[in-house]
Structure 1
Amino acid sequence: MEESIVLGVAVVIFAVLIISKGVKIVSQADLYVIERLGKFHKELDGGFHIIIPIIDKVRAVLTSREQLVDIEKQAVITKDNVNISIDGIVFCKVEDASMATYNVMNFKYAIANLAMTTLRAEIGAMVLDDTLSNRETLNAKLQSELGSAATNWGIKVTRVEIADISVPPSIEKAMNMQMEAEREKRAIQTKAEAQKEAQIREAEAFKQSEILKAEAIERMADAKKYEQEKIAAGQQEAINLINEAMMKNEKAAEFLLAKDRVAAFKALAESSSTNKMILPYDVTQMIGSTSVLGDAFFKGISDTKVNNA
């Protein structure tokens, strides 16, 4: 009886162990590679799964998250024979767990070594200045080369970044001197361009000023000409009107003369000068007649004396 109880407990324990071996709960970011009798069977992703114990087993556990592969610092020679040190980082993720398990021993190690050899080849085809200034181009080339090779391993290379490029101290000093010389050259060129631009703008301003002056003189001359033409036209119109009035009325001229005399006497009367004397028109006529008679009388006397002599 006791032996049967022990046997039953052993069977239960064995059954529990078998069941526990057959139940697999896979995390969301993990990938399980399952082999059946030593051959790839299937790939398990996140969730609850059941496999056949003993017959099926987990060959590898991978992650579907993005991973970093470090490119160790190494010495490379550029196209212009400059020895530099360079390192970087490769970002990748597993897309096919079975290929990453069976097509390569260690995909991280393989990617790191492939990145180092590819980096040497790319740097060897570039001069130092291009290497330092065209990191984006270098990153793109490395990603393309690594991506095509990693596809056979079920790996996707998402990004490649060159972390650091170190040059020898002597080369760095020479580069600093060259950069300083280039800055001075650009400063001189910028100053010369500024002076040239200033002179051009000054000449353009003077030109515009002279053009505006000439236009102003021309407009003033046109205005003066227009004014004189209008004045002449007004005078001509006035003369025509006076002529028409005189033809219609003989006393129109006397009216105009009288009007002018009245205006003149008014201006004379309003003057503050004390050296003036105003006489009626009739008196002035009489004075004028008297002066004419006097001149004639004295002229006759002088002629008589001449004849007697």
Structure 2
Amino acid sequence: MEESLALAIAIIFFAVIIIIKGVKIVPQSDLFLVERLGKYHKVLHGGFHIIIPIIDSVRAVLTSREQLVDIEKQSVITKDNVNISIDGIVFCKVDDAVQATYNVVDFKNAIANLAMTTLRAEIGGMDLDDTLSNRETLNAKLQTELGSAATNWGIKVTRVEIADISVPPSIEKAMNMQMEAEREKRAIQTKAEAQKEAQIREAEAFKQSEILKAEAIERMADAKRYEQEQTAAGQQEAMRLINISMMENEKAAEFLLAKDRVAAFEALAKSNSTNKMILPYDVTQIIGSTSVLGDAFFKGISDSKANNA
């Protein structure tokens, strides 16, 4: 009886062990790689699974979450022979659990070492200035190189970031001096450009002012010419009307002469000068006649002398 009880307890205990070994509850983010009699059988994803104990065994437990692989700080020589220290981070995730288990011993270590060698090769072909200023380009090249190699390991490289680039103190001092010189150079260039722009604006303003002055003078000349043309046209029209009046009325010319004489005597009478003498109109006619007779007399005498000779 006791032997039967002990056997039953042993069978139950063995059954419990078998059940515990055969039941696998896989978390959502994990991957269980199962081997059957030492050979790959299947991959268990998140959920409840049953395997055959002793025959089946879990070879590896991987995670499907994105993982970080540190690139340790290392010394690298650039193309222009500058020794710098650099480190970074690789973001990756398991894309194929079978390849990640059977194609590489430790994919994290393999990625870290591959990243270091690739980083040396890339920076060895770049100058210091390009290394410091083109981090995005360097990250893209590293991701491409690591991604092509990690594909054979069932690993997908999602991103590569260069964390820190350190240069020697002497190089850093020289770079600071160069940066200050560049800033001073840009300041001088900016000042020169501002002065040049100011001079150009002053010249443009002077040019515009002279153009406006010339246009004003031209307009004034046009206005004066127009005024003279209109005045001449008015005088011409007045002369034409006077001629027509004289042709139509013989007394028109005498009227104009009398009008001018009256105006002349009026102006002379209003003058403040003491050296003036006003004669009646008849006296002026007599004087005019006398002068005409005198001219005729003297002309006759000269003609007779010429004939006697």
Q: TM-score higher than 0.5 here?
A: yes
Change (3 A) 1:298 1:160: closer
Larger displacement relative to structure 2 (174-183 or 148-157): 174-183
Partner residue of 1:210? 210
TM-superposed deviation, 1:185: 2.1
1-structure distance, mates of 2:39, 2:29:
24
1-structure distance, mates of 2:16, 2:170:
72
Show the 5 A alignment for 1:22-41. 22-41=22-41
Instruction: For residues 240-264 of structure 1, give each alpha carbon's deviation from its aligned partner in whole angstroms, at most 9, with x where no partner exists.
Output: 78999x69x98xx9xxx9xxxxxxx
Q: Alignment partner for residue 280 of structure 2, among 291, 295, 298?
A: 291
Partner residue of 2:63? 63
Change (3 A) 1:293 1:121: closer
The residue type equivalent to 1:63 in the other structure is T
The residue type equivalent to 1:185 in the other structure is K
2-structure distance, mates of 1:118, 1:83:
17
TM-superposed deviation, 1:229: 4.5
The residue type equivalent to 2:68 in the other structure is L
1:165 aligns with 2:165: yes
Is there any run of 5+ residues in structure 1 with no aligned partner, and where? 258-274, 276-287, 301-309
2-structure distance, mates of 1:83, 1:200:
49
Show the 5 A alignment for 1:37-48. 37-48=37-48
Show the 5 A alignment for 1:1-309. 1-229=1-229, 291-293=280-282
- Report the secondary structure of 2:25's partner residue: strand
Larger displacement relative to structure 2 (208-217 or 155-164): 208-217
1-structure distance, mates of 2:287, 2:228:
51
Change (3 A) 1:178 1:7: same
1-structure distance, mates of 2:286, 2:232:
47
TM-superposed deviation, 1:198: 2.1
Instruction: For residues 154-190 of structure 1, give each alpha carbon's deviation from its aligned partner in whole angstroms, at most 9, with x where no partner exists.
Output: 1111111111111111121122122222222222222
Larger displacement relative to structure 2 (27-36 or 47-56): 47-56
Instruction: For residues 98-131 of structure 1, give each alpha carbon's deviation from its aligned partner in whole angstroms, at most 9, with x where no partner exists.
Output: 1111111111111111111111112222222221
Identity value in percent = 81
TM-score (norm 2): 0.74
2-structure distance, mates of 1:118, 1:134:
16
The residue type equivalent to 1:153 in the other structure is W
The residue type equivalent to 1:90 in the other structure is V
1-structure distance, mates of 2:8, 2:96:
44
Change (3 A) 1:242 1:135: same
TM-score (norm 1): 0.74
2-structure distance, mates of 1:148, 1:197:
55
1-structure distance, mates of 2:283, 2:103:
152
- Report the secondary structure of 1:104's partner residue: coil
Instruction: For residues 14-56 of structure 1, give each alpha carbon's deviation from its aligned partner in whole angstroms, at most 9, with x where no partner exists.
Output: 3233223222222121111111111111112222222222221
1-structure distance, mates of 2:80, 2:74:
18
2-structure distance, mates of 1:299, 1:235:
31
1-structure distance, mates of 2:163, 2:77:
17
The number of residues matched between the two structures is: 273
Change (3 A) 1:230 1:10: farther
- Report the secondary structure of 1:115's partner residue: helix
Is there any run of 5+ residues in structure 2 with no aligned partner, and where? 257-269, 271-277, 290-309
TM-superposed deviation, 1:97: 0.8
Larger displacement relative to structure 2 (146-155 or 174-183): 174-183
TM-superposed deviation, 1:218: 2.1
The residue type equivalent to 2:85 in the other structure is S
2-structure distance, mates of 1:243, 1:168:
111
Change (3 A) 1:231 1:298: closer
Instruction: For residues 248-301 of structure 1, give each alpha carbon's deviation from its aligned partner in whole angstroms, at most 9, with x where no partner exists.
Output: x98xx9xxx9xxxxxxxxxxxxxxxxx9xxxxxxxxxxxx9x93356679999x
1-structure distance, mates of 2:288, 2:229:
51
The residue type equivalent to 1:66 in the other structure is E
2-structure distance, mates of 1:42, 1:238:
126
TM-superposed deviation, 1:3: 4.0
Partner residue of 1:306? none
